[in-house]
Structure 1
Amino acid sequence: MTNSDVDRTALLADVRRVVVKVGSAVLTTGDGLNAMAIERLAAQLSALADRDLDVVLVSSGAVAAGRQRICERTQECLRDYSDMASRQAASAVGQGRLMHDYDEAFAKHGKVTAQVLLTRSGLKTRERFVNACNTLEKLLEWQVIPIINENDTVSTHELEFGDNDTLGAMCLVLTGADLFINLTSADGVFDRNPDDHPDAKPIPVIEDIAALDIEALCDGETNVGTGGMYSKLRAARRAAQLGVPTMIVSGRGNFDLPAAMDGVPCGTLVLPDDKAVSSKKFWLAYHDDPSGAVLVDKGAAKALLNRGKSLLPIGIRKVEGCFDRDALIFIKTLEGEELGVGMCNFSSSELERIKGKRSDELTAIIGPTPSDEAVHRDNMLLDAAI
């Protein structure tokens, strides 16, 4: 599972575009934004850009910046920001403050930045997703450093990314990046939670993250952000599926990203899968939360896993949830094991009527059908990291 002898230099030699995600635990203190952390991060990323690397930054910190600003102006330092309305309002106040600090910090190194605020709903349609890709590509062509954050002010709970680790992984396919760097408050990944186990050992390299029991490994979160190591490893697993390596390293103290790019061991390196999924399948699997599920029999599960087949209605035994056509759904065994996710050609009500039926029976039951397949293999990702 792990191997400290991986040739990092060779692995990173051909990297041309990198997505760097930094969380609130790195950027903030108990009083708000940490100006020194922002200055240090801007210097590090500018050094990467000076190596002709395209750099994309995914940054948290708007809510903390907003809290800080509100406290400075109103002295309401004890306000509760746990509800969504307060969090969104604080983000509205803090996003400008955060970008102002970034813009000034990068300008000291001759770099131009651009604010990009994304919502999950804005990436749900393929057309808008492609438009976001084109915009980011043009910014990088102009040698501008995009600074991406979720548009917390307008996101609803149902449509938010949930954490910027998830957003960072989505930005890999948005930008076509070939490296994901996740800056955290910890010195990489450990075999147990070091907060609870002082004897926890670091994991320098994760060769096969799909085989790693992330749930068992992670039982704690930072007290500032919404992520924690679980979300970072889940994002790394998604990156691995895309064929992109991930570096989970400390963003505190005297961290040195140029040295890390030269192969100097630090933190944890998560290796990519040998066989990468397409960007279309990646987007399909992770652009939305599944709306329901279908439970399939053993024959259908075998056909999906071993023969690369599409899922036909005849193999479906149970339908869970209420969803429309073209919804993203889970595909599970009758025992509840998740096989993957896919875009369903039928609504849940239609599937209830045609489950277990042969393809030549479908029209007689529900009328003209969009397809013989419930989920086509081209619109399916098995072993998805949901």
Structure 2
Amino acid sequence: MSRTEEWREERRRCLERARLVVVKVGSAVLTDADGLSDNVMSGLARQLATLRGVDGARKAVLVSSGAVAAGRRALARHGRTCETQGLAARQAAAALGQGQLMRLWDKVLRPYGIPVAQVLLTRDDLRARTRFLNARNTFAELLSWDALPIVNENDTVSVQELKFGDNDCLASLLVNLVGADLYINLTSAPGVFASNPDADADAEILSCIDDVSRLDLGRLCGGKTSVGTGGMYSKLLAARRASQLGVPTLILPGRQEDVICRALAGEDVGTWVRPAEHAISRRKFWLAYQSDPAGTLWVDEGAAEALSGKGGSLLPGGVRRVDGTFQKGALVRIARLGCDGPQSSLGVGLTNYAAGELRKIMGLRRHEVAAILGDAHYPEVIHRDNLLLDAAV
């Protein structure tokens, strides 16, 4: 079997067997010059009904942007305009628009007998383990009722350190939360280009990405869309996270007619991102992406080799520099420090030491650490069970 035949057969099997799908649709797909597009949303409602099937055997969770655009449209109906560049203005516009967004989704899905449920999340809802489990149970109950959970970030209460950053990030974390086996990302682009189309007019669409972790995202992606907060960079980062769970991603042109149905029928459309050959545990996924790294630990070549090549833990002796201020138990980035300065990111992990303690013991051996901190110290700075290499952060 050729490589092309292999991934197409893999795609066919995955699409056929998928029983829980996370679908994300961005503002650039949902909106036009006047705000939310009723026609686009009606077309997507029809496709979501087809995706679920007449017997409801396949479940779906929808991550929908568009609240800010809906808020602008609501104000425009009253003869007012608003500037939504600042955080407070975007949060206020989202407060105005979230109800409008849900009302439209309810309207277009009602003819198919699909009840909708609004779920608004902050990153803290997924970071706190108890709230994570409560959210998972709520989704499971909604899906058992054949409802369609429609998820968005709770913009009006999110502060910077609790924001997902964009709905691509939120959707990729939901793949883990709900236990999805397929992730569909609807975008304004026809798929993933082989090179940056802003710099290369002849750039071609990649039908399949074998290993998303090996892509040079900075070279491929030319920034964010004008309407949304993401862009192809964040979509590929989300696909990489899903891939680590063993979940494939379909990046589809969301404004093309019946694009989801055509993809499910086997048509070559958009870009298929293959899952990683060896999936990580959902626990490691949760700890790696529960929050943004609070700092960076720079390690020498010996420590980098022990982590990457031997599956070891990070010891104090391998740490050469500590950036940031953080407490014990924080998520931190681990990066290689070469002879000529900073090199590359290795992964993320939960630290057993606060930043101040690490600056006292970095580069030291175990007996030297004990002389400074006493016997009640950890042998590892980051244990390998609390470490994820090649994290998509």
Q: TM-score, normalised by structure 2?
A: 0.94
Once the 2 structures are TM-superposed, how far is the Cα of residue 206 of structure 1 from its aligned partner? Answer: 0.4
Once the 2 structures are TM-superposed, how far is the Cα of residue 177 of structure 1 from its aligned partner? Answer: 0.2
Q: Is the 8 A contact 1:3 1:206 kept in 2?
A: no
1:305 matched to which residue of 2?
A: 308
Q: Is the 8 A contact 1:221 1:229 kept in 2?
A: yes
1:204 matched to which residue of 2?
A: 207
Q: Do residues 170 (structure 1) and 177 (structure 2) align?
A: no
2:268 matched to which residue of 1?
A: 265
Q: Do residues 348 (structure 1) and 355 (structure 2) align?
A: yes
2:85 matched to which residue of 1?
A: 82
2:57 matched to which residue of 1?
A: 52
Q: Is the 8 A contact 1:3 1:204 kept in 2?
A: no
Once the 2 structures are TM-superposed, how far is the Cα of residue 256 of structure 1 from its aligned partner? Answer: 3.1
Aligned length: 383
1:63 matched to which residue of 2?
A: 68
Once the 2 structures are TM-superposed, how far is the Cα of residue 198 of structure 1 from its aligned partner? Answer: 3.0
1:72 matched to which residue of 2?
A: 77
2:389 matched to which residue of 1?
A: 382
1:134 matched to which residue of 2?
A: 137
1:216-235 alignment, distance < 5 Å? 216-235=219-238
Residues 1:18 and 1:366: Cα distance change in structure 2 (over 3 Å): same
Once the 2 structures are TM-superposed, how far is the Cα of residue 158 of structure 1 from its aligned partner? Answer: 2.5
Match among 335, 341, 355 for residue 332 of structure 1:
335
Q: Is the 8 A contact 1:207 1:271 kept in 2?
A: yes
Once the 2 structures are TM-superposed, how far is the Cα of residue 257 of structure 1 from its aligned partner? Answer: 1.5
Once the 2 structures are TM-superposed, how far is the Cα of residue 15 of structure 1 from its aligned partner? Answer: 1.0
Once the 2 structures are TM-superposed, how far is the Cα of residue 3 of structure 1 from its aligned partner? Answer: 5.5
Once the 2 structures are TM-superposed, how far is the Cα of residue 363 of structure 1 from its aligned partner? Answer: 3.5
1:317 matched to which residue of 2?
A: 320
Identity of paired residues, percent?
51
Aligned AA for 1:365? I
Kindly provide the CA deviation profile for residues 236-266 of structure 1, in whole angstroms up to 9, marking residues without a partner as x.
1111111110000011031332331232211
Q: Is the 8 A contact 2:22 2:171 kept in 1?
A: yes
In 1, Cα distance between equivalents of 2:198 and 2:77 = 32
- Partner secondary structure for residue 17 of structure 2: coil
Once the 2 structures are TM-superposed, how far is the Cα of residue 368 of structure 1 from its aligned partner? Answer: 5.2
Once the 2 structures are TM-superposed, how far is the Cα of residue 157 of structure 1 from its aligned partner? Answer: 2.1
Q: Is the 8 A contact 2:333 2:349 kept in 1?
A: yes
Once the 2 structures are TM-superposed, how far is the Cα of residue 205 of structure 1 from its aligned partner? Answer: 0.3
Structure 1 residue runs of 4+, over 6 Å off? Answer: none
Q: Is the 8 A contact 1:193 1:220 kept in 2?
A: no
Residues 1:186 and 1:63: Cα distance change in structure 2 (over 3 Å): same
Once the 2 structures are TM-superposed, how far is the Cα of residue 4 of structure 1 from its aligned partner? Answer: 4.1
In 2, Cα distance between equivalents of 1:232 and 1:378 = 28
In 2, Cα distance between equivalents of 1:237 and 1:302 = 23
Q: Is the 8 A contact 2:196 2:219 kept in 1?
A: no
Residues 1:37 and 1:370: Cα distance change in structure 2 (over 3 Å): farther
- Partner secondary structure for residue 319 of structure 1: strand
1:104 matched to which residue of 2?
A: 107
Q: Is the 8 A contact 2:304 2:336 kept in 1?
A: yes
1:214 matched to which residue of 2?
A: 217
- Partner secondary structure for residue 46 of structure 2: helix
Q: Is the 8 A contact 1:362 1:369 kept in 2?
A: no
1:367 matched to which residue of 2?
A: 374
Structure 1 stretch displaced more, 115-124 or 354-363: 354-363
Once the 2 structures are TM-superposed, how far is the Cα of residue 122 of structure 1 from its aligned partner? Answer: 2.1
Q: Do residues 253 (structure 1) and 256 (structure 2) align?
A: yes
Kindly provide the CA deviation profile for residues 174-206 of structure 1, in whole angstroms up to 9, marking residues without a partner as x.
100011000001111111233553321111000
Segments of structure 2 that go 5 or more residues without pairing to the other structure are none
- Partner secondary structure for residue 177 of structure 1: coil
- Partner secondary structure for residue 199 of structure 1: coil
Q: Is the 8 A contact 2:370 2:377 kept in 1?
A: no
Structure 1 stretch displaced more, 352-361 or 222-231: 352-361
In 2, Cα distance between equivalents of 1:138 and 1:362 = 50
In 1, Cα distance between equivalents of 2:150 and 2:64 = 7
Once the 2 structures are TM-superposed, how far is the Cα of residue 90 of structure 1 from its aligned partner? Answer: 0.5
Q: Is the 8 A contact 1:3 1:205 kept in 2?
A: no
1:150 matched to which residue of 2?
A: 153
- Partner secondary structure for residue 18 of structure 2: coil
Q: What's the Cα RMSD here?
A: 1.5
Once the 2 structures are TM-superposed, how far is the Cα of residue 207 of structure 1 from its aligned partner? Answer: 0.5
In 1, Cα distance between equivalents of 2:190 and 2:71 = 28
Q: Is the 8 A contact 1:313 1:373 kept in 2?
A: yes
- Partner secondary structure for residue 112 of structure 2: coil
